[in-house]
A and B are shown apart, each in its own frame.
Chain A
Amino acid sequence: MSLTSDPPATEAVTKDPGADASVPALVVVPVRHPWRWVAVAATAVLLVQFVHGLVTNPGWEWDVFAAFFTTETILHAVWVTLQLTFYGTALGFAIGIVLAFMRLSASPFLRSVAFGYIWAFRSIPLIVQLLFWFNLAYLYKELSIGIPFGPSFLSFDTMGLVGEMGAAVLGLALHQAAYAAEIVRGGVLAVDEGQLEAAASLGIPKLRQVRRIVLPQAMRSILPNAANEIISLFKGTSIVSVMAIGELFYQVQVVYGRNGRVVPLLMVATAWYVLLTTALSVVQHYVERHYAKGSVR
């Protein structure tokens, strides 16, 4: 353990004695850090105690953990969690990008509507929003396509169309969109105005300016924040358990409700969340590297 960089005293730096014979060779003595060593020792003891507890305390019931970690119920629940994350992110960022450009638009009306949306969806707790969506059929029994305020051509039964899973995805996505919009807007604003002027002066078509010049550069500041959001949404899917959807956290609760093995089953959920978050972080690293092309840091 070499947390300090104190070089051995024998290798102490000496000034070149040949440079000037009239100047005596000087030895630099590095400063010592005794308290740092005390802190290192104390931290190490605590760490060892913690690991020791994990291994020896029978309460963790590692055999139960191992038995349930890859059972079909749990794997299926992991799959549902991943689906909720994927659709929530995809739909959330799609809406978020539209909202971001509305907020950057020249029209005060579009700007206000986007601002209002973001204000509302950031203000209402996710769990409340989810329960609203779950009870959508109570407010609107039928959804129909037609002329606004006029006759309708097609009608759907709300719950039949949206479904439980749909309601959950919608709730997560609409909530996510508000945050995604601000992240995308921040990224676009971080692109130097000179870039837009250069693109405009070259006559590059507007849509192409956005796709080819602005977004790739905005991605550099969007990505770290977006990754945060995706990871937080991934763990946030556990809140959907209030709607009795069989995602990871709900399923784990069902199992320990039956067999009473609370701690090892919570560890099953924990291990899966940690594992998949790690995978997302690895993906994030490579995507960021892709967008760092041409950059010096």
Chain B
Amino acid sequence: MSSVTKTADPVDGTTTAKVEIRAVHKRFGALHVLRGIDLDVRAGEVTVVLGPSGSGKSTLLRTINHLEKVDSGTVGVDGVLVGYRRSGNKLYELREREILRQRTRIGFVFQNFHLFPHLTVLENIVEAPVSALKRPRKEAEAAARKLLERVGLADKAEAYPKQLSGGQQQRVAIARALALEPSLLLFDEPTSALDPELVGEVLDVIKDLAASGTTMIVVTHEIGFAREVADTVVFMDEGRIVEQGSPAEVLDSPRHERTRAFLSKVL
């Protein structure tokens, strides 16, 4: 899909990679969660991040749309710094309004869906296009109904989230993220809160998106999904990227002992 090669620093604005993460560190008090992460994600590719709990994979994902502020290092999306503006050697923090603006380009799907419980499915999906992108409501609703059809929930537009199963809620959450037509989608363990028999329906929607060429970063424990869909698999442990490569490389012939140990437990 892409023969894009690794590129310059996002800080210089000359990048051609979709997401560029450089030397990112993050601490929560005494806990050093991210210890120098460098990662490139190319446009149109699916990157799956694996790792034990506490390895920092969710935190890393959350830094990409600035839900989590980094302590040092930079995150760039589409050649633009996330959360900061560079002038000379200084990084100026962006105003909240500008950060919110940046986030409309990046879709985020949460482990626990976080649908708005007091709004119907349709209202959940049109809220951001109408309020953040100033789309006319009629137009946004028509687009929302198309998205619901795409995730197989055309008949649930008027339902409230609590009337839906977990799998259905997560599919609505994906539709809600897609409603902003983001150029990048981030999934934070999208199937971890689901009953086993509902995992398939959500993964099918994500696979469908992958096939349509959307750039995605997926944090998950679904090794089968990684093998089938990922262009790149990243394995993290204790705040560092241990190894990365094609699914065949990382999943079938891991080079590091830590990766082998992890895979032997989850496979």
Give me the interface of A with B, judged by CB distance under 8 Å: 192, 194-195, 197-206, 208, 212-213, 216-217, 291, 293-296
How many angstroms from the CA of A296 to the CA of B162 in the assembled complex? 7
Residues of B contacting A206 in the complex (Cβ-Cβ under 8 angstroms) = 96-97, 100
Is B131 touching A200 in the complex (CB atoms < 8 A)?
no
14 examples of A-B residue contacts, CB within 8 angstroms:
A195-B116, A197-B110, A198-B115, A201-B67, A201-B106, A202-B127, A202-B176, A204-B127, A206-B100, A217-B116, A293-B160, A294-B162, A295-B117, A296-B162
Asked if B103 is at the interface (CB within 8 A of a chain A CB), the reply is: yes
Asked if B16 is at the interface (CB within 8 A of a chain A CB), the reply is: no
Residues of B contacting A293 in the complex (Cβ-Cβ under 8 angstroms) = 118, 160
* Contacts beyond the supplied A194-B110, A201-B107: 7 A-B pairs with Cβ under 8 Å: A197-B114, A203-B103, A205-B100, A216-B118, A293-B118, A294-B119, A294-B161
How many angstroms from the CA of A217 to the CA of B132 in the assembled complex? 20
Asked if B260 is at the interface (CB within 8 A of a chain A CB), the reply is: no
How many angstroms from the CA of A64 to the CA of B248 in the assembled complex? 95
Write the B92-117 contact mask toward A (1 if CB under 8 angstroms, else 0).
00001100111110111010101111
Q: Name the one of B67, B117, B161, B180 contacting A217, with C-beta atoms under 8 angstroms.
A: B117
Interface of A is mostly: helix
Asked if B153 is at the interface (CB within 8 A of a chain A CB), the reply is: no
Shortest beta-carbon distance, A161 to chain B, in Å? 40
Asked if B168 is at the interface (CB within 8 A of a chain A CB), the reply is: no
Shortest beta-carbon distance, A100 to chain B, in Å? 20
Is B131 touching A195 in the complex (CB atoms < 8 A)?
no
Is B117 touching A212 in the complex (CB atoms < 8 A)?
no
Q: Name the one of B100, B110, B112 contacting A204, with C-beta atoms under 8 angstroms.
A: B100
Shortest beta-carbon distance, A175 to chain B, in Å? 32
In the complex, the chain B residue whose C-beta lies closest to that of A217 is: B118
Asked if B263 is at the interface (CB within 8 A of a chain A CB), the reply is: no
Shortest beta-carbon distance, B66 to chain A, in Å? 9
Shortest beta-carbon distance, B219 to chain A, in Å? 14
Residues of A contacting B176 in the complex (Cβ-Cβ under 8 angstroms) = 202
How many chain B residues touch the partner (CB < 8 A)?
Answer: 31
Residues of B contacting A202 in the complex (Cβ-Cβ under 8 angstroms) = 103-104, 108, 127-128, 132, 176-177, 180
Residues of A contacting B160 in the complex (Cβ-Cβ under 8 angstroms) = 293-295
How many angstroms from the CA of A212 to the CA of B117 in the assembled complex? 12
Is A197 touching B118 in the complex (CB atoms < 8 A)?
no
Residues of B contacting A213 in the complex (Cβ-Cβ under 8 angstroms) = 116
Q: Name the one of B96, B120, B162, B177 contacting A295, with C-beta atoms under 8 angstroms.
A: B162
Is B131 touching A208 in the complex (CB atoms < 8 A)?
yes
Is A295 touching B180 in the complex (CB atoms < 8 A)?
no
Residues of A contacting B65 in the complex (Cβ-Cβ under 8 angstroms) = 201
Is B101 touching A203 in the complex (CB atoms < 8 A)?
yes
Is B118 touching A294 in the complex (CB atoms < 8 A)?
yes
Q: Name the one of B101, B116, B118, B180 contacting A198, with C-beta atoms under 8 angstroms.
A: B116
Residues of B contacting A194 in the complex (Cβ-Cβ under 8 angstroms) = 110, 112, 114
Shortest beta-carbon distance, B74 to chain A, in Å? 20
Shortest beta-carbon distance, B189 to chain A, in Å? 13
Residues of B contacting A203 in the complex (Cβ-Cβ under 8 angstroms) = 100-104, 128, 132, 180
Is B118 touching A204 in the complex (CB atoms < 8 A)?
no
Shortest beta-carbon distance, A202 to chain B, in Å? 4
The A-contacting residues of B in range 55-103, CB under 8 angstroms, are 65, 67, 96-97, 100-103
Write the B164-179 contact mask toward A (1 if CB under 8 angstroms, else 0).
0000000000001100
How many angstroms from the CA of A192 to the CA of B115 in the assembled complex? 11
Q: A198-B110, A205-B131, A206-B96 are in contact. Are A294 and B117 (CB under 8 A)?
A: yes
Residues of B contacting A294 in the complex (Cβ-Cβ under 8 angstroms) = 117-120, 160-162
Residues of B contacting A212 in the complex (Cβ-Cβ under 8 angstroms) = 127, 131
In the complex, the chain A residue whose C-beta lies closest to that of B115 is: A198
Is B108 touching A201 in the complex (CB atoms < 8 A)?
yes
How many angstroms from the CA of A195 to the CA of B114 in the assembled complex? 6
Shortest beta-carbon distance, A112 to chain B, in Å? 23
How many angstroms from the CA of A216 to the CA of B167 in the assembled complex? 25
Residues of A contacting B100 in the complex (Cβ-Cβ under 8 angstroms) = 200, 203-206
The A-contacting residues of B in range 161-214, CB under 8 angstroms, are 161-162, 176-177, 180
Residues of A contacting B97 in the complex (Cβ-Cβ under 8 angstroms) = 205-206
Is B132 touching A205 in the complex (CB atoms < 8 A)?
yes
How many angstroms from the CA of A198 to the CA of B108 in the assembled complex? 8
Write the B130-171 contact mask toward A (1 if CB under 8 angstroms, else 0).
011000000000000000000000000000111000000000
How many angstroms from the CA of A192 to the CA of B180 in the assembled complex? 23
Is B162 touching A200 in the complex (CB atoms < 8 A)?
no
How many angstroms from the CA of A295 to the CA of B120 in the assembled complex? 11
